C-alpha cells in the first residue's frame, strides 16, 4: 500500500516550496520503489487557493485527508497565514500528529506547526530571514537558524526554499534508502546531500566570495585530502589562528572543519567508486581515510550505504 503524503495548502503559496514536494513525492517513481508515494492536495482553508504569482491550485481533498495521512507536508506560507493560521487547519495538524503522522514543514510552514504546538520543546528551523521573528513568536521552540533541516523523528522542519529539496530527499532516504534517494536527486539534477547549513547563505557581502577569507583554505584542503589534515594546517592556509578559523568556519558553513573534511572525502570517494575500478583500500588512501575500515565507517554514516553497495548502484564506465 502506498505511503500517503498530504499537502496542507493555504492561499498564496510560494511556488518553489509548493513545487518541490510535488516533484519528489508526486511523480510516479515506481521503477525505483514500488509502491511510491500517494500525494494528495488538501485544502487547508475554504475558498480558492492560488500561488503567490496567481496560479490556481486544484485541491480536491480536505482536512479529513490530513488527519488520515502517513506524512503531512506543510509548505511555506504567506505572511497572513503565518500570523493567523486557519484554526481548523491547526486542529487537523494536531489530529494528524496524534494519529501517528510524520509532520513536515517547508520553510515558513514551520509557523503553522509551531502554532499547532507541535514544535514546543523541540529543535526546529525555518528560513534564516524569518528565524528572529519565529523565535520571538514561539519561545518554546529551540530554533536553529544555521541548518538546512532538522529531523526530530516524527516532526521535521526545513530552512528556506532550496532546503526543501534537501529535506524531501532526506525523507526519501529514510523511507527507501540512500540509493533510491540519490537516483531521485540525479533525475532532479541536484546533489543528493549538500555540505554545511544555511548560515553560508545568510547576508553574503555583495561581489565577494560567499566563503570570504576561508576560500583559499577550502581550496587548499580539497587539493590535499590524501594528507593528514588538521584544523591547525587549514587555519595556516587561511592565515588565521586555529581558534579564529574554527569559529569563523562554523559561522560561515554551519559545521566544524573536521566534519566538513569528512564530507569532502566521502564525496571524492563516491566519484572514485562510480568512475574507477580501484579497490576500496586504495580509494581510502587517496581520500585521506587511511584504511578501508575508516572509509566504510564514515561513508556509511554520511550516505547510509556501504562503499560496495554504492559502487554497485552507481558504477559508470571510466572515460578514456
**How many other CB atoms are found less than 10 A from the CB of residue 51?**
19
- Determine the average pLDDT of the residues in 83-101: 97
pLDDT of residue 226: 94
In a domain, 199, yes or no: no
Residues 122 and 263 grouped into a single domain: no
Q: Residues 24-53: what's their mean pLDDT?
A: 96
Q: Do 147 and 16 sit in the same domain of this protein?
A: yes
Q: Residues 210-233: pLDDT tens digits? A: 445 788 888 899 999 999 999 999
How many CA atoms, within 13 angstroms, populate the side-chain half-sphere of residue 285? 4
Residues 293, 221 within the same domain: no
> Given this model, what pLDDT does residue 204 score?
39
228 lies in the same domain as 79 = no
Same-domain status, 157 and 286: no
Is residue 286 pLDDT above 80, yes or no? yes
Listed residue (33, 13, 42) closest to 178, CA to CA: 33
Residue 160 lies in a domain: yes
CATH code of the domain in which 124 resides = 3.40.50.880
The answer as to whether 196 is a domain residue is no
Q: What's the rounded mean pLDDT across residues 137-155?
A: 92
When the pLDDT of each residue in the chain is averaged and rounded to a whole number, the result is 89
Q: Is residue 19 part of a domain?
A: yes
Say yes or no: 21 and 138 in one domain.
yes
Same domain, 21 and 143: yes
Same domain? For 37 and 118 the reply is yes
Q: Can you give the CATH number for the domain in which 268 is found? A: 1.10.10.60
pTM of the model: 0.67
Cell digits of residue 145: 537558524
pLDDT per residue over 242-281, tens digit each?
999 998 888 777 778 998 899 889 888 988 888 889 999 9
The predicted structure's pLDDT at residue 279: 95
- When pLDDT is cut at 50, 70 and 90, the band that residue 198 belongs to is low
Q: Which residue has the higher pLDDT, 314 or 41?
A: 41
Packed helices 257-275 and 231-238: angle between N→C axes, nearest 10 degrees: 100
Whether pLDDT at 208 is above 60 = no
Say what the pLDDT of residue 212 is. Answer: 57
More confident of the two residues 38 and 308? 38
Our measurement of the distance from residue 11's CA atom to the centroid of its chain's CA atoms, rounded to an integer in Å, reads 25
Q: Residues 72, 145: one domain?
A: yes
Instruction: Choose the final residue of a domain: 239, 254, 269.
Output: 254
Return the percentage of the chain with pLDDT > 70, whole number.
91
**137-165 as b/e, with b when 16 or more CB fall inside 10 Å?**
ebeebbbbbbbbbbbeeebbbbbbbbbbb
- Shared-domain flag, residues 180 and 163: yes
pLDDT tens profile 109-129: 999 999 999 999 999 999 988
Residue 197 maps to a domain:
no
Range 178-202 average pLDDT: 76
Residue 196 pLDDT > 70: no
Say if residue 214 is in the same domain as residue 263: no
Range of the domain at 184: 3-188
Which segment of 140-144, 173-177, 226-230, 308-312 scores lowest on mean pLDDT? 308-312
What total of structural domains would you count in the chain? 3
Domain assignment present for residue 198? The answer is no
> Quick check: is 307 in a domain?
yes
Looking at the structure, tell me whether residues 123 and 26 fall in a common domain.
yes
Whether residue 305 has pLDDT greater than 80: no
- The Cα–Cα gap between 301 and 311 comes to 16
Structural domain contains residue 114? yes
Cell of 85: 493560521
Q: Which band of pLDDT confidence, cut at 50, 70 and 90, is reported for residue 195?
A: low
Amino acid at each position: 500500500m502506498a505511503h500517503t503524503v498530504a499537502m496542507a495548502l493555504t492561499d498564496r503559496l510560494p511556488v518553489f516550496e509548493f513545487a518541490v514536494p510535488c516533484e519528489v513525492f508526486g511523480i510516479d517513481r515506481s521503477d525505483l520503489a514500488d509502491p511510491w508515494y500517494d500525494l494528495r492536495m488538501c485544502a487547508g482553508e475554504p475558498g480558492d487557493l492560488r500561488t503567490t504569482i496567481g496560479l490556481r491550485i486544484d485541491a480536491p481533498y480536505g482536512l479529513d485527508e490530513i488527519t488520515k495521512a502517513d506524512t503531512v507536508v506543510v509548505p511555506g506560507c504567506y505572511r497572513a497565514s503565518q500570523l493567523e493560521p486557519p484554526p481548523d487547519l491547526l486542529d487537523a495538524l494536531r489530529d494528524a500528529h496524534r494519529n501517528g503522522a510524520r509532520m513536515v514543514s517547508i520553510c515558513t510552514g514551520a509557523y503553522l506547526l509551531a502554532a499547532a504546538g507541535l514544535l514546543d520543546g523541540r529543535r526546529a528551523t525555518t528560513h534564516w530571514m524569518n528565524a528572529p521573528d519565529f523565535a520571538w513568536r514561539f519561545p518554546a521552540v529551540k530554533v536553529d537558524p544555521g541548518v538546512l533541516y532538522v529531523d526530530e523523528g516524527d516532526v521535521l522542519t526545513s530552512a528556506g526554499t532550496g532546503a526543501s529539496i534537501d529535506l524531501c530527499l532526506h525523507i526519501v532516504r529514510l523511507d527507501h534508502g540512500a540509493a533510491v534517494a540519490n537516483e531521485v536527486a540525479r533525475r532532479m539534477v541536484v546533489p543528493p546531500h549538500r555540505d554545511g547549513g544555511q548560515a553560508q547563505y545568510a547576508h553574503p557581502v555583495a561581489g565577494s566570495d560567499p566563503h570570504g577569507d576561508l576560500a583559499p583554505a577550502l581550496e587548499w584542503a580539497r587539493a590535499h585530502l590524501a594528507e593528514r589534515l588538521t584544523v591547525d594546517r587549514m587555519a595556516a592556509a587561511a592565515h588565521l589562528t586555529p581558534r579564529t578559523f574554527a569559529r569563523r568556519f562554523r559561522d560561515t558553513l554551519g559545521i566544524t572543519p573536521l566534519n566538513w573534511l569528512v564530507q569532502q572525502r566521502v564525496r571524492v570517494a563516491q566519484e572514485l567508486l562510480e568512475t574507477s575500478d580501484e579497490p576500496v583500500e586504495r580509494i581510502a588512501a587517496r581520500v585521506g581515510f587511511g584504511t578501508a575500515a575508516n572509509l566504510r565507517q564514515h561513508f556509511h554514516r554520511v550516505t547510509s550505504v556501504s562503499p560496495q553497495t554504492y559502487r554497485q548502484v552507481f558504477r559508470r564506465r571510466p572515460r578514456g
